[in-house]
């Protein structure tokens, strides 16, 4: 294993040179280290050894095949207005406990903070809750671009392999609708929608399972970040199809609302119905 004290050995180690910026940023985030930006590239956690006089490794290029996460069909069971929550289970909820965690990245392999992730899935019996919001919930990535979902392993239903639905959206970005899959499922071989690029890494953890998946959203991270305060509030009524930024103000139903989270307005996500996105002012 290369060490920071031996940068020459690092440079000769093809395995080390092949490390992706994404994976190192992920490691930095997991370690609680805030990646720094230097010269348009990421100053990685391991580069911090430069402060003590060691030679810097070249910044790995973002060429590790991290194409944006592919879209998939929404299916018939999506419902807007899901509650904001990271856990879809209560004590005693039947099923094998499952934690899904990971990061959301942009095209430049930098983490996306405040990304909206809206999950929905079948219960242990393979049934969707179309009357209520069972096994439905949305959340936002933290400052490191990280998310964690607590749920149970979804049950099977006719015609499909095991999967979790998700909509992912960077602040101000377009919605990616896709699905996540489980390795080792016999039906993966026969489900026409299944795509191996959407397989989670899943391991057993005590009585439950832990899955990981990193989303890569098709967002340009090369330019300056948009103002988080939204200094140019659009006048007028809330309008589906319009992109709103945090701080934007709209009117709806005779009331005024302030945008809490940049997003693309969608029918069904009207301000009174989405307290995670809009606050009445
Ligand atoms: Fe489904």
Three-state secondary-structure class, residue 216: strand
Residues 138 and 107: their CA atoms lie apart, in Å, by 23
| Per-residue model confidence (pLDDT) at position 231 | 37
Residues 155 and 122: their CA atoms lie apart, in Å, by 6
Task: Write the secondary structure of 221-249 as one string of H (helix), E (strand) and C (coil).
Answer: CCCCCCCCCCCCCCCCECCCCCEECCCCE
Q: Per the structure block, which two tokens stand in for 251?
A: 């009117």
Distance from the alpha carbon of residue 263 to the mean position of ligand 1, in angstroms: 24
E strand or H helix that includes residue 120: strand 116-120
The structure's pTM equals 0.63
* Model confidence pLDDT, tens digit, residues 182-229: 999 999 999 999 999 999 999 999 999 999 999 999 998 875 544 444
Distance from the alpha carbon of residue 75 to the mean position of ligand 1, in angstroms: 6
Which class would CATH give 243-280?
mainly beta
Residues 281 and 279: their CA atoms lie apart, in Å, by 6
DSSP states of 82-123: --B-SB---TT--S-EEEEEEEEE-TTS-B-TT-EEEEE---
Q: Provide the CATH topology of domain 97-216.
A: Protocatechuate 3,4-Dioxygenase, subunit A (2.60.130)
Distance from the alpha carbon of residue 118 to the mean position of ligand 1, in angstroms: 14
- Domain extents in the chain: 7-52, 97-216, 243-280
* Model confidence pLDDT, tens digit, residues 170-187: 999 999 999 999 999 999
Distance from the alpha carbon of residue 156 to the mean position of ligand 1, in angstroms: 9
Distance from the alpha carbon of residue 168 to the mean position of ligand 1, in angstroms: 16
Q: Which residues surround ligand 1, an ion (CB under 5 A)?
A: 75
* 191 C-beta neighbours (distance < 10 Å), count: 16
Q: pLDDT band at residue 109, thresholds of 50, 70 and 90?
A: confident
* Model confidence pLDDT, tens digit, residues 135-174: 999 999 999 999 999 999 999 999 999 999 999 999 999 9
Distance from the alpha carbon of residue 262 to the mean position of ligand 1, in angstroms: 27
Distance from the alpha carbon of residue 165 to the mean position of ligand 1, in angstroms: 6
Distance from the alpha carbon of residue 274 to the mean position of ligand 1, in angstroms: 23
Distance from the alpha carbon of residue 183 to the mean position of ligand 1, in angstroms: 16
Between CA 94 and CA 99, with CA 96 as vertex, the angle to 5 degrees is: 115
Closest CA to 223 of 277, 176, 172: 172
Distance from the alpha carbon of residue 269 to the mean position of ligand 1, in angstroms: 21
Residues 166 and 37: their CA atoms lie apart, in Å, by 30
């Amino acid at each position: 294993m290369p060490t920071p004290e031996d940068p020459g050995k690092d440079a000769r180690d093809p395995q080390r040179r092949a490390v992706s910026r994404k994976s190192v940023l992920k490691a930095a985030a997991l370690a609680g280290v805030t990646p720094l930006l230097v010269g348009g590239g990421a100053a990685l956690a391991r580069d911090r050894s430069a402060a003590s006089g060691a030679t810097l490794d070249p910044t790995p290029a973002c060429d590790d095949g991290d194409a944006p996460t592919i879209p998939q069909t929404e299916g018939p069971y999506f419902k807007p207005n899901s509650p904001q929550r990271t856990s879809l289970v209560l004590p005693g909820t039947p099923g094998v406990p499952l934690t899904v965690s990971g990061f959301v990245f942009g095209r430049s392999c930098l983490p996306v903070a405040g990304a909206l992730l809206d999950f929905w899935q079948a219960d242990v019996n393979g049934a969707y809750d179309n009357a209520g919001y069972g096994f439905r919930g949305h959340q936002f990535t933290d400052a490191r671009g990280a998310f964690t979902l607590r749920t149970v392993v979804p049950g099977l239903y006719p015609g499909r392999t095991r999967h979790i639905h998700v909509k992912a959206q960077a602040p101000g970005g377009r919605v990616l609708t896709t699905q996540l899959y489980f390795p080792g499922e016999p039906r993966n071989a026969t489900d026409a929608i299944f795509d191996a690029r959407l397989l989670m890494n899943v391991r057993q953890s005590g009585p439950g399972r832990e899955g990981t998946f990193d989303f890569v959203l098709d967002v340009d991270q090369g330019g300056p970040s948009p103002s988080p305060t939204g200094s140019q509030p659009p006048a007028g009524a809330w309008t589906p199809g319009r992109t709103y930024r945090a701080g934007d103000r709209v009117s709806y139903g005779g009331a005024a609302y302030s945008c809490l989270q940049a997003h693309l307005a969608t029918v069904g996500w009207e301000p009174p119905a989405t307290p995670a996105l809009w606050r009445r002012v």
